Amino acid sequence: MLDKGMKFNAAEMASPTEAELLEARMVRELERAPEVVIAAEFAKRVAGMVPARREVAVKTTRYGRNAAIVSMAVLMVAVLLIARGAAHESVVRMTVEWVLCGQLLVLGVGVGLRRWNLR
């Protein structure tokens, strides 16, 4: 094995066969795969070092459901206001009314699917 400060000089070798033997040995050692050995109770020791898992109480929040219900109420009021005020006189008012009705329908279906756990 060569030290860091030493330089390899092929001329200093006693014979070419010695250099070839050294090169063959180096190639053989570099190409050899290392042996991996894992102790029999390694997994048990590692599992013993892991702290015990504590149960965490998580409060269920319903922010999305509550926001959807509030949005449905606002949409219902908007649809009723538009329907009360001659919605069919203008194409724009009628279009807005149908868009609001569609949004109300989509929110209602979404809340209903979540309530019965179909989603």
Ranges of each domain in the chain: 63-115
pLDDT tens readout for residues 17-76: 888 889 999 999 999 988 888 888 888 888 888 888 888 888 888 888 899 999 999 999
CA atoms of 19 and 13, how far apart (whole Å): 7
pLDDT tens readout for residues 89-117: 788 888 888 899 999 999 999 888 877 77
CA atoms of 54 and 47, how far apart (whole Å): 15
**Overall pTM surpassing 0.85 (yes/no):** no
Question: Which residue type, as a one-letter code, is found at position 111?
Answer: V
Q: How many helices (H) and strands (E) does the chain have?
A: 4, 0
CA atoms of 94 and 88, how far apart (whole Å): 6
The helix (H) or strand (E) run that includes residue 112 is helix 91-115
Cβ–Cβ under 8 Å, residues 75 and 107:
yes
